[in-house]
Amino acid sequence: MNQLTHAPISVEALLGHVQSAERGGTCVFLGTVRKDDDVTGIEYSAYDEMAVAEITRMLDEARERWPEARVALQHRLGLVPLGEASIAIVAAAPHRDEAFAACRYVIEEVKKRLPTWKKELHADGSATWVDPSGHPIAGGLRDR
Amino acid sequence: MAQVTVRFFARYAELTGCETAAISVSGTSTVADVLDRVRETVPGAQNLPPRPLAALNLRQVKLEVCVKDGDEVALLPPLSGG
């Protein structure tokens, strides 16, 4: 499975990587492009090689913490329209506590560590890089 | 001397107008030294923030970490994945 994809994400396909008869709890997190002001979509880009390496490290860490859980992740790149998923994380474990915990761990690490960037596209044809840190740099960035 | 490949992404690639640059530094240099050299030699790089996020060979590192010949340094705008 490619963890970075330019195609729409298939949650069903991801679930196939983690579910089994022994794992009775499955947690799915989807991050979708939100309708904000005049945003018409988000263009995602990545440092592909490092992103894949980071995803591997995050999933290894989750497996160390919750050995019975299985977690899979896919991040979409390129233009993602409103309402479509830019990221999906699925976690399955024997019980729900581990599934929720592993899923939550991975999305929080993604937010801190995954080398990916969002450019918001606006109805007037302009585009704005998103800076979650709230520290604008030259050219002006939207605090998000 | 150490030859280091520097990669720029997203906003920083727009600032510099390039995605990679080959940078030469002395053999006992740090990522910060590479960054100084980038500012001197890559057009537009003067507008990079004083202490950007950086990665060395696919891992985030502090700017004080040493580099060696053949390394890949990446300058990362604020991350916004997910």
Query: Which residue in chain B is spatially nearest to A76 when comparing CA positions?
Result: B82
- B-interface mutation test, from A32, A34, A50, A107, most B Cβ less than 10 A away: A50
- The verdict on residue A142 lying in a domain is no
Asked if B15 lies within 8 A of A138 by C-beta distance, the reply is yes
Domain boundaries, chain B: 2-76
Tell me whether residues B11 and A129 touch, CB distance under 8 A. Answer: yes
Residue A45 domain-assigned (yes or no): yes
Q: What is the pLDDT along chain A (144 residues), one digit of tens a residue?
A: 899 999 999 999 999 999 999 999 999 999 999 998 899 999 999 999 999 999 999 999 999 999 999 999 999 999 999 999 999 999 999 999 999 999 999 999 999 999 999 999 999 999 999 988 654 444 444 433
Give me the number of domains chain A comprises. Answer: 1
Instruction: Give the CATH number for residue A78.
Output: 3.90.1170.40
Please report whether residue A84 resides in a domain. yes
Main-chain dihedrals φ then ψ at residue B9, nearest 5 degrees? -130, 155
By residue range, what is the domain housing residue A54? Answer: 4-125
Q: How far is A109 from chain B (nearest CA, A)?
A: 10
**E-strand spans in chain A?**
4-5, 25-32, 39-46, 70-76, 78-81, 85-93, 116-122, 127-131, 142-143
Which class does domain B2-76 fall in?
A: alpha beta
**Residue A113 within a domain:** yes
Single pTM value for the model? 0.92
Q: Which pLDDT belongs to residue A134?
A: 55
Domain membership flag for residue A102: yes
Q: Do B78 and A86 touch (CB under 8 A)?
A: no
E strand or H helix that includes residue B18: none
ipTM: 0.95
Give A76's contacts in chain B (Cβ within 8 Å): none
